[in-house]
Amino acid sequence: MRLAAIVDQIAMECDLENCTVGQYRRAEKRFSEWLGRPSEAKHLTRQNVNSFIEQIQSYRTNTTAGNYRRALCRIWNYLTEHHGKPAYEIRRMRRPKCEEKPVVAWTMIELSALIRSSDTLPGNLKINVPASLYFSALLNVAYDTALRPSDLFILHWTQLDTDARSITLIQHKTLKPHIVFLSDNSVKALELIRYPSREKIFPLTWGGVRKWMEKIFTLAGVYGFVRLPRKNLGTLRKSNATQTFIERGEAAAAESLGHVSGTRMVRKHYIDHRERRQYTVPNRPCLTTNDG
């Protein structure tokens, strides 16, 4: 039985994100390339998987190798559960050590620079809204709500309660209900872009937003803003979590993000590492001179 067919079965039977299914398909494809033939259930052996992961580590990151390992183990587990394949010994499966990169969020000074820069954007969008007003509202709402960009871009005006200063939604990733709250600045910014009337609050595609965000980053350089790689609109989610952690602790940060699995993920992926430990130096020995 070919592993590609097993991936198809998993995708059909399990409610998985497209990115997860894509990861399984890539792992199966790379494993087949390593074998030099279409991979089958019989090829999933401890020796083959360990050798394959070792080779991946030689030219790709440990994170990639670890993702491939998890995907192949998921396929193996399916074969064990539904097709009687003997289970693998987890302790004898090669486990790449993945580097945990520090979380870096935008500070309040950096956020201020971005919002000030958005206010100076020239021109109008195709929806006949000034770019400056649109992106000022987007940045303010993104920070206040800590929503993922995928959720921001599908918000409807009907979900906005201006009296309660809140937005109620079903999170795209988790399919769980969530309520977020807005500052006075965000409510005022939203009122400025309410017309012309439209169904979605922020109807631009991610491609269009990325182009305008690049302009904002450039303008923010005047205020000393320095953009780091892989930092974009979604970084505001980390900024919200970090500030909430500073003011109210980890549990409140997890609640702000809409997490339902406790605080471990928020601590690992969202709270700026510079705020997780305050600067301290241990006491030093008292050095005295002996005058004889």
Q: Tell me, yes or no, whether 120 and 264 share the same domain.
A: yes
* DSSP strand pairing (177-181 vs 160-161): unpaired
Q: Tell me, yes or no, whether 126 and 205 share the same domain.
A: yes
Residues 6+ apart with CB under 8 A from 183: 140, 144, 165
Q: Please, which pLDDT band fits residue 178 given cuts at 50, 70 and 90?
A: very high
Q: Residue 289 has what pLDDT?
A: 62
Of the three residues 92, 120, 150, the one that is the final residue of a domain is 92
Q: Tell me, yes or no, whether 142 and 86 share the same domain.
A: no
Q: Residue 290 has what pLDDT?
A: 62
Interatomic CA distance for residues 105 and 231, integer angstroms = 9
Q: Give a yes or no: residue 287 inside a domain.
A: no
Query: Both tokens of residue 197?
Result: 């009337």
Tell me which residue has tokens 């394949």: 85
Interatomic CA distance for residues 263 and 114, integer angstroms = 29
> Rounded mean pLDDT of 276-292?
72
Q: Give a yes or no: residue 288 inside a domain.
A: no
Q: Tell me, yes or no, whether 127 and 247 share the same domain.
A: yes
Q: Give a yes or no: residue 71 inside a domain.
A: yes
Q: Residue 115 has what pLDDT?
A: 96
Residues 6+ apart with CB under 8 A from 121: 130, 131, 132, 135, 212, 215, 216, 219
Given a contact cutoff of 8 angstroms between Cβ atoms, the answer to whether 235 and 227 are in contact is no
40 φ, ψ to 5°?
-125, 170
pLDDT digits (tens, 9 = 90+) for 111-139: 999 999 999 999 999 999 999 999 999 99
Query: Has residue 163 got a pLDDT over 80?
Result: yes
Q: Give a yes or no: residue 175 inside a domain.
A: yes
Q: Give a yes or no: residue 141 inside a domain.
A: yes
Q: Tell me, yes or no, whether 67 and 202 share the same domain.
A: no
If one compares 15 and 28, the residue with the highest pLDDT of the two is 28
> Rounded mean pLDDT of 265-287?
83
Per the confidence metrics, is the pTM higher than 0.85?
Answer: no
Q: Tell me, yes or no, whether 86 and 152 share the same domain.
A: no
Residues spanned by the domain of 155: 108-275
Residue of 135, 143, 148 lying closest to 110 (CA atoms):
143
Q: Residue 262 has what pLDDT?
A: 79
pLDDT digits (tens, 9 = 90+) for 38-53: 999 999 999 999 999 9
> Rounded mean pLDDT of 237-249?
95
Q: Give a yes or no: residue 291 inside a domain.
A: no
> Rounded mean pLDDT of 264-271?
89
Q: Tell me, yes or no, whether 58 and 179 share the same domain.
A: no
Alpha helix locations (H) across the chain? 3-13, 18-35, 46-59, 62-83, 108-118, 131-145, 149-152, 184-191, 206-220, 235-248, 250-257, 264-269
Given a contact cutoff of 8 angstroms between Cβ atoms, the answer to whether 104 and 273 are in contact is yes
Interatomic CA distance for residues 240 and 248, integer angstroms = 12
Q: Give a yes or no: residue 197 inside a domain.
A: yes
Query: Has residue 292 got a pLDDT over 60?
Result: no
CA distances from 111 to 115, 125, 237 (A): 6, 23, 12
Q: Residue 282 has what pLDDT?
A: 83
Write down how long the chain is: 292
Q: Residue 291 has what pLDDT?
A: 56
Q: Tell me, yes or no, whether 170 and 74 share the same domain.
A: no
Q: What's the CATH number where 231 sits?
A: 1.10.443.10
Q: Tell me, yes or no, whether 74 and 125 share the same domain.
A: no
> What one-character DSSP code corresponds to residue 13?
H
Q: Please, which pLDDT band fits residue 274 given cuts at 50, 70 and 90?
A: confident
Q: Tell me, yes or no, whether 30 and 64 share the same domain.
A: yes
Number of domains in the chain: 2
Q: Give a yes or no: residue 23 inside a domain.
A: yes
